[in-house]
A = this chain, B = another copy of it.
Amino acid sequence: MTDQLQSGSPKSVTADDVAAMAGVSRWTVARAFKKAGSISAKSRKRVMEAAETLGYVPDLSAASLGSDRSNLVALLVDDFDNPHKLVMLERLTRILREAGYGTLLVNMLGEKDAPEALLTASQRRVDAAVLIGTQFDEGIRRTALGARRVKKLIVFARMSPSPDTVSIGCDDVTAMEEVTRHVLARGYRRPMYLAGPDTESTRLFRKETFLRVWSAEHPGSVPAVIHARSYSLADGRDCALAFLRRLSRDTRPDVILCENDVLAMGAMDAIRADLKLRVPQDIAVTGFDDIPLAASPAYDLTTYRQPITEMAQALVRVLGTDGTAQGTILPGRFVIRGSA
């Protein structure tokens, strides 16, 4: 029993073995495994039975050598601090697998690492490289041009302006309009915006939309905007605290709109644990993403849920498209809870 796993069968079973057993040629075996293969029902049955008893499964890495598609997509992630990434990974791996794709998970260690990360993906002949909520894409795009094996570059949960990448994301503009209107309707007067790192490559329109809608309603008033060093709980807390601590009761904001839930939770930690204030009575907070913990009574965060499932389905559609595919922008859902 012990070594069955190691040396159960010296060589793995190939299409030839199945062909021999079924009394057909290797190519007929291959046809039996393609849904569109022109093959008689009889021999397909024979082949499938032989494959079953032999435990044969086609070798995809060999298959991708001959054909020009591997049914493999690389998921490039650069920020594992955000629990929302786990939601995305779950949905993407599930839906991609159901559509017949394998997923290669590549950890981008930093901006300088991006080209190499893409390279390792291209070495596996991926059908597409998907940047998941990545902050930088311009440099990556250029290396993608170099790595000829990357056939498609897809930006997921972000909007890329590059003409040769496909973006699939949530409709940030509509979303943030809704959030801002809600904040306006609740009568808040001194808003503040807590954004992520202030890099020009960030392609979110949340901040801009908020400022636009707010200013339209309150001409002349310019909300404060601060940028956290990273999208992490600790940085969100530090950043919010550093800003709020210097303000008096009258000058401090009465609502903080945050670029995502993690920053929002950090801000809530600062407000409650550090400043000993209450949410939402003293300062209200909104987030973005609706990560699982946002629903916990410990935060009870008003936030906006991205349509991850629909976005993943759109991704599958793009993968199936041969030519130049269209990007997709999908509406999410505003989730009102107690924090604002």
Contact = CB atoms under 8 A, between A and B. Distances in A.
A148 interface: yes
Contact of A90 (B80, B122, B273, B293): B80
Contacts of A107: 90, 93-94, 97
A296 B269 contact: yes
Interface stretch (A39-47, A61-69, A210-218): A61-69
Contacts of A148: 8-9, 12-13, 55
A94 B107 CA distance: 6
Given A4-B164, A83-B83, A293 B293 contact: yes
A268 interface: yes
A53 to B, nearest CB: 12
A286 interface: no
Contact of A299 (B12, B62, B298): B298
A210 to B, nearest CB: 25
B102 A104 contact: yes
A89 interface: yes
A200 interface: no
Interface stretch (A139-147, A201-209, A329-337): A139-147
A105 interface: yes
A70 interface: yes
Given A104-B104, A104-B105, 7 more contacts: A5-B145, A55-B146, A59-B125, A80-B87, A83-B83, A83-B86, A97-B106
Interface of A: 1-6, 8-9, 12-13, 55, 57-62, 64-65, 70, 72, 75, 80-81, 83, 85-87, 89-90, 93-94, 97, 102-107, 109, 117, 119-120, 122-125, 141, 144-153, 163-165, 232-233, 265, 268-269, 272-273, 292-293, 295-299, 324
